[in-house]
Chains A and B, each alone.
Chain A
Amino acid sequence: MSSNSANGNGIVGTRVPLIDALKKTTGEGFYTDDIKLPGMIVGKILRSPHPHARVKRIDVSKAEALTGVHAVLTGDEPGAQNRFGVLPISRDEIALPKPGAAGRAGRVLYVGDCVAAVAADNEEIALQALALLDVEYEIVPAIIRVEKGLEKTTEPIQDRTKDGTNVHKTVEQQFGDVAGVLDNSAHVRTNEFEFIGVNHAFTEPMATIAHYDADDRLVLWSAQQVPHYLHRALADVMEMPMHRIRVIRPMVGGGFGGKSDPFPHEMIASLLSRKCRRPVKILFDREEVFYNNHGRHPTKTRIIVAADKDGMLTALDVDATIDGGAWGSFGVVTTYYNGVLAMGPYRIDNFNYAGRRVYTNKAPCGAMRGHGAVNTRFSFEVTLDQLADDLKMDPCDLRLKNLLPANTETINGFRITSNGTRECIERARERSGWDQKYGQLPFGQGIGLSCGFYISGSAHRIHFNELPHSTVHIKIDMDGGVTVHCMAAEIGQGSDTMLAQCVAESLGIKMERIRIFSADSDTDPVDLGSYSSRVTFMAGNAAVRAAEKIREKLIQAAARKTGYPAGGFVLTNEKVVYKPNPDIFLTFDEALTAALAKSGALIAKGAYLDPPPIGKRNEFKGWRAGLSPTYSFQAYMAQVHVDPETFEVRVQKVWAAHDCGKALNPLAVEGQIEGCVHMGLGQVLMEDMSYLHGTIQGPNFLDYRTLTPMQMPDVDVIIVESGDPEGPFGAKEAGEGPLLPILPAVANAIYDAVGVRVFSLPITPDKLWKAAQRQGVKID
């Protein structure tokens, strides 16, 4: 299979605008909220004002009597109590609590949790109806602080917890002899970090339309990253076979992990529609997006890093207490990722991890760009900087000395293939002028470094089965257009464009021939969804494999038509050319006509299954966590200015080197890297999902501050292409790993500028000022 190198057709590796960009920017494209169906009505959800309460009784009579109300839904509705969740191992979500029911089934678990719902002619009537719902609550003591959740309780938030506490999941892994090595290491640093929760802050709020139609089929349009997992969850909740349900993903205005769970509002819309037989639309306001959350977990991380006198890293010990909020979501994976992704890109032979995820009465946390790895990466890279200080070594040199080589295996069983970390560090170092800047800039100015490491698709399936990770169908009919079907979810990251490029490159044709169908579960084959940075690697490979089969059909036809041997033909520049004598060729359309003769439309299927077997299989609990067919690597440098009196931080410039294997579309890779820098700067400098006694302090975009364009620094994107042996044309991920290093790079730069470290995020000026005061920082 020749999927690991470009065909030289100039499609792959070229800067291509995303194929849906014009539709989006001109307003022609449509998102879920743009869809209007005949007879469509509005669904609204009543949300809990209490962080933890039993719903004893709901009187729906007044709401039902209101003119314009079509349905009122409570947990008494069949299906509303059926459990669901993105991970089959922790299905602890329900659409609505059942009034009067015992245990979790009858309780609301956080401020903003769904209590009941209505469907009405318009939003105004729906809001009036919500106000007419008479709910009797019985307050249950709420667990707000994560430490409190570690204690025994008589009324745990969820039914399945550890030993009568609110602990959802624990992970313990040990490799080598950490305790023994720590005793004998020349340099040991221990730090405790605190990370506040952050939200994805995607542009498009949650939106869904459910239509339980005249054929007793459920059609659901929803802003989703994982339509397939939603499809499965709908089948469970509605108690319908999957083939009676059709899931459609319209254009999605950003996800970043925040649309990668099946959600209660999707179940509620479906149940409402079944109840009143009308299409029901639910559109969130921003406050509801914050209550639904599923953002990055607030985490307390204790980390110990040790090195010998020469600067070789000897041991790493990570302990993470992870605040999960009220539901499981991806939390089991999060708990693993906080540990298992810590070591890369470094070789360390002794590693301990202990992590626990705790249920609390707060909005559920879940996956977010850089899932599980961001907070530990910050802890590790900041601590590494301190070790470099202790060792009197340049931070670049310390890292270079400890890099994992390519084509190796880590002590926890990750199979490392391509690895461009060294090139990332060296190129960023040169372009930034690091050697003239680090430790030498005037007080108030500084430069900092961090590396990064991330999976490129989870090799482990969420559902245990033998189905492929991704399947692509290609069809070409006599019009000459190439139709590509695959449920890989385009959420703005460019997956449709990636599929189009892979197919066009493989067939040597222009991009304009390609049309991507990736939205409809009735017609498009399963792809597991846009999460874990898997789409380019997995769906891309599937697309290449399908295209190769089509290519073979066209070559056979050309060989028949010309009489020359098939082995000599290549597809390039809209032609099927006999390579030994390029004067012998058919145009693509001629070859197609020949191939279609007496056969009809060409169709082919490609699938991505699994990476080759990896070591350590079954040797320890959790061996699957973090396994990926390949990994991405980064090295970032950030230069900052810190006002020496106000401690306001301005990031002036970022040099961002990322090993994506091969940039299929350098324009899209740059966009992903710049977007990651923007998002990561938000978490390190300002984003803050604090709670005021159980309620999110500022569930709106004025109080929850993301970076504006005014704060965005110039980013020098350095694309490193290590050429992955198994990636499509050598490619691996570029969507999540590039977020990781910006946070510690900025923290390390702040330290270089003013000699102050803040051990909790975000590093706001008031915190930095206070730390400087405590430290007695003097302005030179």
Chain B
Amino acid sequence: MILPSFKYHQPTTLNEAFAVAKTCNGDFDFIAGGTDVLPNYKNRLNNRSHVISLSAIKELFELGDSKIGAMVTLVQLEKNEWLLQNHPAIAQAAHLIATPPLRESATVGGNILLDTRCWFFNQSHLWRESKGFCLKADGNDCLVVPQKDICYATYSGDLAPVFMVLGASFHLAGPAGRREVAAADFFRHDGITRYVKQPEEILTHISLPENAGELRASYRKLRLRDSMDYPVMGAAVALRLNGKIVDELRIAITGIDTTPFLYDDITKGVSGRELNSALTAQIANDVMEAVKPYRNVHFTPQYRKAMVGVYLKRLLQELSGD
């Protein structure tokens, strides 16, 4: 498989990047590590005529001081001393992504902005021609949930749920200026638009709130193999206990729906309650009942749903020191 031809740009500042993008009339992609964009290009999935690399924009590489630059690689993330000490769940989640060679080039920003995945979408042109093209590329109908309005491709990023439970913010820069969006408010329930970031905006960095270090957090992912595979369900939990009493609990699930999803509506109500096995089971069950997997990635939806319960129970036990 060879890449389609495109014009490659490598601006050195954000403003230069915005200026280049403006000349492309919307026919461009920003590219970081390329481990998500380029395989999709090889499959001729919404490939653009211009590819604007972020690899020469220095400010995107910062790491430390509660700030993670979007161009930080996953390998840097999993080995970073400050993260390992203060937010081990981030390093842990990064370590579980893809394979060591891919983590050398894949970036934090790329993982957060990972394109949604679906077995009707992540295929070659011939394959998609054989099945009929789908809403997300070259077609008019979703082949997972038959309708024409939204795309049900699955969000498979591993880092976003961890950032969500830690209360992180995503920082965007665009021609119109900079803005900050809470990780919890970043994603949109549609496999095509995916998030609130506008095409001409660039994710510059992620910031963590000062009290994030007080949370004990962990992430586990369900997949067939211990390497390579995307999560077909991933669960992140952050917990602050006062003795056995829950001070704060946040849960996010990825790999199930079109977006990672935070279950504050379920976890808010448990603050002030003792985290015993009954409450653990109840929380795990409530979240499990709330998820709705589709049949468009590996493993049956029933199994993935059931595993939400098992994984959350184990994470809560792990974090409460049971």
Encode contact with B along A627-668: 1 for CB under 8 Å, 0 otherwise: 000000000000000000110000000000000000000000
- Return the chain B residue nearest A46 by Cβ: B126
- How far apart are the CA atoms of A697 and B122 in the complex, in Å? 11
Smallest beta-carbon distance B294→chain A, Å: 14
Q: Are B227 and A710 in touch, CB under 8 angstroms?
A: yes
Judge whether B211 is part of the interface by a CB distance below 8 angstroms.
Answer: no
Encode contact with A along B221-263: 1 for CB under 8 Å, 0 otherwise: 0101111111000000000000000000000000000000000
Q: Are B131 and A693 in touch, CB under 8 angstroms?
A: yes
The answer, among B1, B122, B127, for a CB contact under 8 Å with A695, is: B127
- How far apart are the CA atoms of A124 and B230 in the complex, in Å? 31
| Chain B binding surface SS class | loop
Judge whether B57 is part of the interface by a CB distance below 8 angstroms.
Answer: no
Q: Are B225 and A697 in touch, CB under 8 angstroms?
A: no
- Return the chain A residue nearest B304 by Cβ: A766
Across-interface contacts of A645 in B (CB, < 8 A): 310
Q: Are B130 and A49 in touch, CB under 8 angstroms?
A: yes
Smallest beta-carbon distance B303→chain A, Å: 4
- How far apart are the CA atoms of A686 and B228 in the complex, in Å? 14
- Return the chain A residue nearest B300 by Cβ: A766
Encode contact with B along A105-139: 1 for CB under 8 Å, 0 otherwise: 00000011000000000011001000000000000
- Return the chain A residue nearest B299 by Cβ: A766
Question: Which residues of chain A (409-449) have a CB below 8 Å from chain B?
Answer: none
Question: Which residues of chain B (267-295) have a CB below 8 Å from chain A?
Answer: none
Judge whether A177 is part of the interface by a CB distance below 8 angstroms.
Answer: no
Judge whether B124 is part of the interface by a CB distance below 8 angstroms.
Answer: yes
Q: For B5, B222, B225, which residue has the most chain A Cβ atoms within 10 angstroms? A: B225
Across-interface contacts of A123 in B (CB, < 8 A): 2
Judge whether B19 is part of the interface by a CB distance below 8 angstroms.
Answer: no
Q: Are B224 and A765 in touch, CB under 8 angstroms?
A: yes
The answer, among A50, A686, A692, A709, for a CB contact under 8 Å with B224, is: A686
Q: Are B225 and A111 in touch, CB under 8 angstroms?
A: no
- Return the chain B residue nearest A649 by Cβ: B224
Encode contact with B along A697-717: 1 for CB under 8 Å, 0 otherwise: 111001101011111000000
Judge whether A769 is part of the interface by a CB distance below 8 angstroms.
Answer: yes
Q: A705-B229, A765-B303 are in contact. Are A49 and B129 (CB under 8 A)?
A: yes
Across-interface contacts of B2 in A (CB, < 8 A): 123-124, 127
Encode contact with A along B289-322: 1 for CB under 8 Å, 0 otherwise: 0000000001110111011001000000000000
Q: For B126, B129, B222, B302, which residue has the most chain A Cβ atoms within 10 angstroms? A: B126
Across-interface contacts of B228 in A (CB, < 8 A): 702, 705, 708
Smallest beta-carbon distance A213→chain B, Å: 28
Q: Are A705 and B127 in touch, CB under 8 angstroms?
A: no
Judge whether B119 is part of the interface by a CB distance below 8 angstroms.
Answer: yes
Encode contact with B along A676-702: 1 for CB under 8 Å, 0 otherwise: 000000000010000011110111001
Count class of interface residues, chain A: 20 to 34
Question: Which residues of chain A (29-58) have a CB below 8 Å from chain B?
Answer: 47, 49-51
Across-interface contacts of A695 in B (CB, < 8 A): 127, 130-131
Smallest beta-carbon distance A584→chain B, Å: 61
Tell me how many residues of B have a C-beta within 8 Å of chain A. 28
- Return the chain B residue nearest A762 by Cβ: B224
Q: Are A697 and B226 in touch, CB under 8 angstroms?
A: no
Across-interface contacts of B299 in A (CB, < 8 A): 764-766
Judge whether A244 is part of the interface by a CB distance below 8 angstroms.
Answer: no
Smallest beta-carbon distance B302→chain A, Å: 7
Encode contact with A along B139-183: 1 for CB under 8 Å, 0 otherwise: 000000000000000000000000000000000000000000000
Judge whether A770 is part of the interface by a CB distance below 8 angstroms.
Answer: yes
Across-interface contacts of A703 in B (CB, < 8 A): 119, 122, 298
Q: A705-B224, A705-B229, A765-B299 are in contact. Are A694 and B130 (CB under 8 A)?
A: yes
The answer, among A686, A692, A769, for a CB contact under 8 Å with B119, is: A692
- Return the chain B residue nearest A764 by Cβ: B224
Q: Are A111 and B303 in touch, CB under 8 angstroms?
A: no
Judge whether A287 is part of the interface by a CB distance below 8 angstroms.
Answer: yes
The answer, among B131, B226, B230, B304, for a CB contact under 8 Å with A711, is: B226
- How far apart are the CA atoms of A186 and B306 in the complex, in Å? 42
Across-interface contacts of B119 in A (CB, < 8 A): 692, 697-698, 703
Question: Which residues of chain A (232-246) have a CB below 8 Å from chain B?
Answer: none
Q: Are A287 and B129 in touch, CB under 8 angstroms?
A: no
- How far apart are the CA atoms of A127 and B122 in the complex, in Å? 20
Across-interface contacts of A766 in B (CB, < 8 A): 299-300, 302-304
Smallest beta-carbon distance A24→chain B, Å: 20
Judge whether A285 is part of the interface by a CB distance below 8 angstroms.
Answer: yes
Smallest beta-carbon distance A182→chain B, Å: 37
Across-interface contacts of A686 in B (CB, < 8 A): 224-225
Smallest beta-carbon distance B304→chain A, Å: 8
Smallest beta-carbon distance B133→chain A, Å: 11
- How far apart are the CA atoms of A697 and B126 in the complex, in Å? 13
- Return the chain B residue nearest A693 by Cβ: B131
The answer, among B5, B129, B229, B303, for a CB contact under 8 Å with A769, is: B303
- How far apart are the CA atoms of A702 and B40 in the complex, in Å? 13
Smallest beta-carbon distance A349→chain B, Å: 43
Smallest beta-carbon distance B201→chain A, Å: 29
Across-interface contacts of A287 in B (CB, < 8 A): 1, 124, 126-127
- Return the chain B residue nearest A285 by Cβ: B1
- How far apart are the CA atoms of A424 and B64 in the complex, in Å? 59
Encode contact with B along A284-320: 1 for CB under 8 Å, 0 otherwise: 0101000000000000000000000000000000000
Q: Are B225 and A710 in touch, CB under 8 angstroms?
A: yes
Across-interface contacts of B122 in A (CB, < 8 A): 702-703
Q: Are A710 and B130 in touch, CB under 8 angstroms?
A: no
- How far apart are the CA atoms of A646 and B304 in the complex, in Å? 10
Smallest beta-carbon distance A687→chain B, Å: 10
- How far apart are the CA atoms of A693 and B143 in the complex, in Å? 13
Question: Which residues of chain A (453-511) have a CB below 8 Å from chain B?
Answer: none
- How far apart are the CA atoms of A285 and B127 in the complex, in Å? 13
Across-interface contacts of B130 in A (CB, < 8 A): 49-51, 111, 694-695
Q: Are B127 and A699 in touch, CB under 8 angstroms?
A: yes
Q: Are A49 and B224 in touch, CB under 8 angstroms?
A: no
**Between-chain CB contacts (< 8 Å), 20 pairs:** A50-B130, A111-B130, A124-B2, A124-B5, A287-B1, A287-B126, A694-B130, A697-B119, A699-B124, A703-B298, A705-B228, A705-B229, A707-B225, A708-B225, A708-B227, A710-B227, A764-B299, A765-B303, A769-B306, A770-B300
Q: Interface residues, chain A, CB within 8 Å of chain B? A: 47, 49-51, 111-112, 123-124, 127, 285, 287, 645-646, 686, 692-695, 697-699, 702-703, 705, 707-711, 764-766, 769-770
Known: A705-B298, A766-B304. 19 other contacts (CB 8 A): A49-B126, A49-B129, A123-B2, A287-B126, A645-B310, A692-B131, A697-B119, A702-B122, A702-B229, A703-B122, A705-B228, A708-B225, A710-B227, A764-B224, A766-B299, A766-B300, A766-B303, A769-B303, A769-B306
